[in-house]
Amino acid sequence: MGYAAKCTRLPVQRQFDAVRFSIASDRNQHLMVSCVGESAHLPVEHKQLEFDASQMQWIEMHPDPRIQKLAECYIQSYLQRRTANS
């Protein structure tokens, strides 16, 4: 995995080069999602997002709608994997 630094479609000025998600905790249908924005291979932003899997709704969302959409895709994939493994 790497950065597409020479991609002509990337804006020269951008907040992040990459956004990474991970599940910080999964307890009683309450998911804590760690969201880290990176620039030049270094973390520049860290947010904790919260998702209620029993209600299928966000408790704490990311303020940037583009990153929130990525978080929604990540949660959907995570929940599918979790169901398949149970």
With bands split at pLDDT 50, 70 and 90, how would you rate the model's confidence at 32? very high
Residue 86 pLDDT > 80: no
With bands split at pLDDT 50, 70 and 90, how would you rate the model's confidence at 15? confident
Q: What is the mean pLDDT of the chain?
A: 90
For the chain, which residues make up each domain, given as ranges?
Answer: 18-84
- Cβ atoms of 52 and 79 closer than 8 Å: no
pLDDT given for residue 25 in this prediction? 97
Report pLDDT digits (tens) over 46-73: 999 999 999 999 999 999 999 999 999 9
CA atoms lying within 13 Å on the CB side of residue 77:
10
What does each C-alpha distance from 86 to 15, 73, 74, 82, 83 come to in angstroms? 38, 20, 18, 6, 5
